[in-house]
């Protein structure tokens, strides 16, 4: 049994039954049967379904957004934006996807050759709660276009969202078995990965979850894509517009109550502007108001659970005990999992917090002497997901792009995922890519067809 708890009030929303072994077997059989049919469909039929899904999400946007807000606490404004992003994602693959999988001819010495992208089979997605629609759609839209089918193991606290996503498939007229939610605990994932009918696995989540899934997938020789944690550097140099950089840093850090892998988490600021940035940034973070996430005017809602908030509070306590200065970042009174936005500064070298991910609305501010020092600080992390760099100097931009060990770098803007560009990281942030043609091709069979000339 899974219970959804409203993190803003602590009240129970609903309970959801856990699937039995027989239920899981029935869904795997349905996925296999659906794949046998769907893999033979024309691309035009797949495009029509993606378009219908986009229409269904758009028509039900308010209902979908409210469920995400109730179950995991994001503001309703950000939940609506997330649903809109899903609509854009479906439409992107409906519009541009067919060209991504069109056969291509190669000139080879032995005659004619052709490459074709073919479906692979049912894909299992193990997904977290922080962007409960978009992170699923990132896998689902290309999966359906490829001719594969989807199996979702969603986080236990967003089973209401998972149910609505299954419902949207029915609204869009999808064939039975094309996309199913597996309401199972984490301990049940290994058996699903091992099942011969599951072709591949994609996971967004923690390092621990990623390592466990990768080990099981590797044992069974199955392709896996991992999008794991991040402690993204947000670098600010003297040529940057300081006011714009401060405003963007606040947006980056408090979005989704700081519960985003690609939030700017470590603000690395050149020494010439460090003090001015710290003063303005600290003031701006202190001005962030929290409140009812269903109120469209609320800037920041609660964290996803009291337990998640307590984890952040424990990290901050350890950092301050080691000599760091914390401004804000405190538990707020009343029901729910609320805390204020905060800033950690003066962090002593060697503090463990420098190599951890803070999954809450608290930023670290660090001082850099020059470009090389900023790059060294940025890379002094086990993570390598994204990065954001604020400078108008072209040479500095080039140095950061080449030097920062990350899968993504945004220049003078807050990093965000978009359907067109590859999304993913290096080091302990995972491997493989989502979105764009690269994400589509991750779970397809690239077949070479060689013909005698």
What stretch of H or E contains 202?
Answer: strand 200-204
Contacts for 22 with CB less than 8 Å, ≥ 6 apart: none
Active-site residue, 114 included: no
Cβ proximity of 410 and 401 under 8 Å: no
Cβ proximity of 428 and 229 under 8 Å: yes
Cβ proximity of 104 and 97 under 8 Å: no
Residue 52 CA to residue 171 CA, distance in Å, equals: 8
Task: List helix spans (H) across 293-381.
Answer: 306-321, 371-379
Angle between helices 394-403 and 371-379 (to 10 degrees): 30
Active-site residue, 261 included: yes
Cβ proximity of 120 and 200 under 8 Å: yes
From 71, 82, 86, 261, the catalytic residue: 261
What stretch of H or E contains 326?
Answer: strand 325-328
Q: What is the DSSP string of 5-25?
A: E-TTT--EEEEEPPPPHHHHH
From 82, 227, 356, 434, the catalytic residue: 227
User: Which backbone phi and psi does 243 adopt, to 5 degrees?
Assistant: -60, -45
Helix, strand, coil fractions of the chain, as percent rounded to 5 = 45, 20, 35
What three-state secondary structure class fits 44? helix
Question: Which positions are annotated as active-site residues?
Answer: 227, 261
């Amino acid at each position: 049994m899974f219970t959804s708890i409203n993190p803003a009030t602590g009240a129970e929303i609903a309970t959801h039954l856990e699937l039995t072994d027989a239920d899981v077997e029935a869904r795997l059989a349905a996925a296999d049967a659906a794949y046998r049919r769907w893999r033979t469909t024309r691309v035009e039929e797949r495009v029509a379904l993606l378009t219908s899904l986009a229409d269904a999400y758009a028509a039900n946007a308010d209902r979908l957004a409210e469920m995400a807000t109730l179950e995991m606490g994001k503001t309703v404004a950000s939940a609506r934006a997330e649903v809109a992003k899903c609509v854009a994602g479906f439409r992107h693959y409906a519009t541009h996807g067919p060209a991504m999988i069109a056969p291509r001819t190669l000139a080879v010495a032995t005659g004619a050759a052709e490459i074709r992208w073919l479906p692979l089979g049912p894909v299992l997605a193990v997904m977290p709660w922080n962007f409960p629609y978009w992170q699923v759609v990132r896998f689902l839209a290309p999966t359906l276009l490829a001719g594969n089918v989807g199996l979702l193991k969603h986080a236990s606290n967003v089973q209401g969202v998972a149910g609505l996503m299954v419902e949207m498939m029915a609204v869009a007229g999808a064939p039975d078995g094309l996309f199913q939610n597996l309401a199972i605990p984490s301990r049940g994932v290994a058996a699903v990965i091992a099942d011969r009918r599951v072709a591949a696995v994609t996971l967004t989540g923690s390092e621990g979850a990623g390592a466990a899934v990768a080990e099981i997938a590797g044992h069974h020789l199955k392709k896996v894509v991992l999008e794991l944690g991040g402690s993204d550097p947000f670098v600010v140099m003297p040529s940057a517009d300081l006011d714009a950089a401060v405003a963007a840093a606040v947006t980056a850090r408090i979005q989704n109550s700081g519960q985003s892998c690609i939030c700017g988490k470590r603000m690395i600021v050149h020494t010439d502007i460090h003090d001015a940035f710290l003063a303005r940034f600290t003031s701006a973070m202190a001005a962030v108001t929290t409140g009812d996430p269903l109120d469209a005017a609320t800037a920041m809602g609660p964290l996803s659970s009291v337990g998640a908030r307590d984890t952040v509070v424990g990290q901050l306590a350890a950092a301050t005990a080691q000599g760091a200065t914390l401004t804000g970042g405190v538990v707020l009174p009343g029901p729910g999992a609320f805390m204020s936005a905060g800033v950690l500064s003066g962090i002593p070298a060697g503090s463990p917090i420098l190599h951890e991910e803070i999954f809450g609305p608290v930023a670290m501010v660090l001082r850099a002497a020059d470009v090389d020092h900023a790059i060294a600080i940025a890379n002094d992390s086990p993570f390598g997901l994204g990065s954001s760099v604020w400078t108008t100097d072209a040479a500095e931009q080039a140095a950061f792009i080449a030097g920062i060990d990350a899968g993504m770098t945004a220049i003078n803007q807050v990093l965000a995922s978009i359907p067109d560009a590859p999304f993913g990281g290096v080091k302990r942030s995972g491997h493989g890519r989502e979105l764009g043609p690269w994400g589509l091709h991750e779970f397809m069979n690239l077949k070479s067809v060689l013909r005698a000339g």
